[in-house]
Structure 1
Amino acid sequence: MIISIAIWMVSVVIAALYYKSSIQKLRTPYTFSYIMSEYQLGTYHMPLFITTKLAPLLIVVELLTAVWIFLPWTRLYGFILGACLQIVFFMLMFMNMRRNFPYGCGCFKMNAPSVITARHAWGNLVLCFVQVAVVIIVVAG
């Protein structure tokens, strides 16, 4: 019973995080596309014409994750999808640590300069671990 309540509370908080993040990106999708193109994958910069196609997809995936985590019958899949997103976000944050982004990091705030810090990377990793823990508890339960 206590575990069910704890999972429900974690679900509401994490669903709200994904919802807030995706809604912010929906308000300024072109800015989010530009921010995505600023991330480096090693020495590779993804061109803007590609990120303008990928950004809407990522926004939809984040919104879908929020809905799936919130709904009890899709919660497990939502947490799995969310953990996968957080692994990708952690790797991007880690590879771009200490870089200055003129329009923000693309997490929650946009149109304001931001420097990627260890706090950004660790925040994504902790969120991933929490979601993996919920998946393990639900599957083992």
Structure 2
Amino acid sequence: MNVWTMISGLIALYILVFLAAVAGSVLFGCAVYNDAKSKWNDNATMWGVLVGILGLIPGIIYLCVRNEPLKRIYVCHNCGWGNPLSARQCGHCGAGLYYPTEETLQRQKKAKTLLIWGIVMWVVMILAFISIFIVMFTMIPAIAEGNITY
């Protein structure tokens, strides 16, 4: 077996792990952004970027604060006024408030789909990482025995 063949295979696996990690992070960031938008969170972009760049810790923090009842408001589709959860009519124009809207349902569905794809990408990354270690540990005895040529 040629050393350069094995090294090029390891490099390809490293690239696969890197791409899967980046894709998983981007998908998790998009999932958090869509989830925050579906809950009318004013900081949806901030949460999406934080989770996409920094990963797990901002994601856990977002999960802890995403359902704060004091910060959740429903926007009137007639005038755009923000109303508390308990309101059944808009405090500004008097229009009836209907929950949830089609847009929020679509964003929740999109967030769930992106989350599933993010998990799939992280699983691919973990499997590729495990395969790198398997290849490396099978390569060490072959080098020690002299079965690998240059």
Q: If the length of structure 1 is used for normalisation, what is the TM-score? A: 0.33
Larger RCO, structures 1/2 (Cα 8 Å, 6+ apart): 2
TM-score (norm 2): 0.32
